[in-house]
Chain A
Amino acid sequence: MNYINHEQVAAKTKSRLIKNNILKGLFLAATMFGLIVLAILLFRIVTQGSEYLSFDFFTRFASRIPENSGIKSAFLGSIYLMLVVAPVSMFLGVGTAIYLEEYAKKNKMTDFIRINISNLAGVPSVVFGLLGLTIFVRYFGLGISILAAGLTMSLLILPVIIVASQEAIRAVPGELREASFAMGATKWQTILRVVLPTAIPGVLTGSILALSRAIGETAPLVVIGIPTILMFTPNSLLSTFTALPMQIFDWTKRPQVAFHDVAAAGIIVLMTLLIIMNSIAVFIRNKYQKRF
């Protein structure tokens, strides 16, 4: 008996192969579209900004003369901002994730919290800016300071860190915990010595990606009213400061074309910073994350 009708197959093969090739081309084009746009963007930014990029660019303050402009206050401001955001958001984020995954009972209340954390991740960043302005800047009287902006940014990236940490903690196999309990360890000892060490590469990867979002975010800073004209470096957490995205935003709005090139140089610095942070995240994930 002839199971395969060779004639029929031969007749259909050609059209099937063509369809396959067309779709392959279509998906390749979809992939290339993003890449090409990115390449054009990078090319434009680098050709515009490289002229102004030098060591002095990091050691000078902003100036009315484009050639003398630098990002000293903005760069340091962004770093100090991260010094507030990183510990606050990681402590709160990992703490929430541990509670939800390890301690919380599976009931309606926990589900409610989980859903709301996911919702929080979808709130536009401008809204966080308004929240920060009302609560931290005005109500707590922190003023337009590194601390107020840092707390606002922490809230902004908190949901991302919580979700990433939850995933990482959930990925730790139950057998490891049970083995620890069997040895007589308490819940906290198990979390500290078994769960967290295993989960920490995943937690760090998620946190670094979230931090790199915070460093590039502009809208909340605009709403809080971070100044852009500032010729000093911050000396305490309550100092006024400016940040890289704000400085770039200000330069692109200037009438002089030369300032647009200075802005491009600032963008190069910001993007390099982001690429370094993202590479660290990828490196940690690839090197330390265990698969079970």
Chain B
Amino acid sequence: MKSFKYLAMTTMVGSALFLAACGDEGETETNGSNGDNNTASEETLEGQVRGDGSSTVAPIMEAIVEEYAGVQPNVQVSSGVSGTGGGFEKFIAGETDFSNASRPIKDEEASALEEAGVDYTELEIGFDGLSVVVSQDNDWVDHLTVEELKAMWVEDGTEKTWADIREGWPEETIEYYSPGTDSGTYDYWNEVILEDEDIVRSATLSEDDNVLVQGVVGSPNAIGYFGYAYYLENQDTLKVVPIDGGEGPVEPTNETIESGEYAPLSRPLFTYVSNASIQENEAAADFITFAIENAGDLAEAVGYVRAPQELYNEDMEKIEELKQ
């Protein structure tokens, strides 16, 4: 039994030393990102800023948090990926300072916020183009109109083939791949294409966009949609479908998405900030200012599209007003 006690002691002392070593390192080392971005404020701040929300917006937010840690290493910013709806739930509960969203806030969320006494401000931090994609083995689709997309995706009780959508296309059953109903991407699609009607029952829904990519790549009869970043990363294996919103087919590119020419599937990405946080939490105000200043560049760095500069300017004005 003595040898056992010895083992237990060494394990405990050893782990204590190991953790102490880790702790020291954590305090002395600063984040190794470059500091050549514009600093929102020169003084060193301390504090906590918490956020959550859309997983679509997460890569942009991660880039912003990463750069901000290089500027203000003592401000602890964290952000989760609970989805747009899940993020708002925490925002309403007052657990977060900002909430990322890949769609505008819904009426019921806005009234819940009002009830909870949370005043908020909507900020645009980037643009995304919902990309409609088919397999590269699909050689018949050259473009789709919004009406055709709706006819294709709305449940009408029948099993649809490509020939039902446009004459001359093969009589093969269409396979559908769509983001899950919890995502803001689905909500946006529901609003613009489905117009609140039911999505086809045979659609494969997944919260993981990589699953959708695999599904569409795997079948010539498949069609799917997801954020522009996922198309960009997989453009060698996927074929993007130009969309005709009434003024001729437009393919999603950085330019067409930013200008809004890629309508109606070009969508803004938001973060909603609590007014109280901006006014009372200096760190939060500083972080949000930094976010607006750098969102455009960082959005492009992670495969999204910058919002038009006017929108960033408007965002900045709103924040400046709040700070006073």
Contact = CB atoms under 8 A, between A and B. Distances in A.
27 contacts: A59-B29, A62-B66, A63-B33, A64-B302, A68-B32, A76-B26, A79-B22, A83-B19, A137-B95, A222-B82, A225-B86, A225-B90, A226-B80, A228-B79, A231-B68, A233-B23, A233-B26, A233-B27, A253-B210, A255-B209, A255-B227, A255-B229, A255-B233, A255-B234, A256-B303, A257-B233, A260-B210
A64 B76 contact: no
Nearest 8 A/B pairs, CB to CB:
A233-B26, A231-B69, A227-B80, A227-B78, A64-B63, A229-B79, A255-B233, A230-B78
B31 A231 contact: yes
A267 B93 CA distance: 33
Contacts of B229: 255
Given A60-B32, A68-B32, A255-B303, A250 B66 contact: no
B89 to A, nearest CB: 9
B13 interface: no
Contacts of A255: 209-210, 227, 229-230, 232-234, 303
A54 B26 CA distance: 18
Interface string B276-287: 000000000000
A152 to B, nearest CB: 16
Contacts of B209: 253, 255
Contacts of A25: none
Contacts of B19: 79, 83
Contacts of A61: 31, 66, 69
Given A76-B22, A250-B58, A257-B233, A63 B69 contact: no
Given A229-B58, A240-B76, A201 B4 contact: yes
Interface string A135-149: 001100001100000
A256 B209 CA distance: 11
Interface in B53-76: 55, 58-59, 61-63, 65-66, 68-69, 73, 76
Interface in B193-239: 208-210, 227, 229-230, 232-234
A228 B58 contact: yes
Contacts of B32: 60, 68
Interface of A: 59-64, 68, 72, 76, 79, 83, 137-138, 143-144, 197, 200-201, 222, 225-233, 239-240, 242, 250, 252-257, 260, 284, 288
Contacts of A252: 208, 210
A240 B48 contact: yes
Contact of A143 (B59, B62, B80, B95): B95
Given A227-B79, A229-B62, A229-B80, A253 B208 contact: yes
Contacts of A239: 76
B29 A227 contact: no
A74 to B, nearest CB: 12
A144 B232 contact: no
A219 B298 CA distance: 30
Given A63-B66, A79-B22, A240-B50, A231 B303 contact: no
Interface string B73-117: 100111111100010001001010000000000000000000000
A241 to B, nearest CB: 8
Contacts of B48: 240
Contacts of B58: 228-229, 250
B223 to A, nearest CB: 19
B93 A138 contact: yes
Contacts of A242: 78
A242 B27 CA distance: 17
Contacts of A201: 4
A192 B232 CA distance: 64
B52 interface: yes
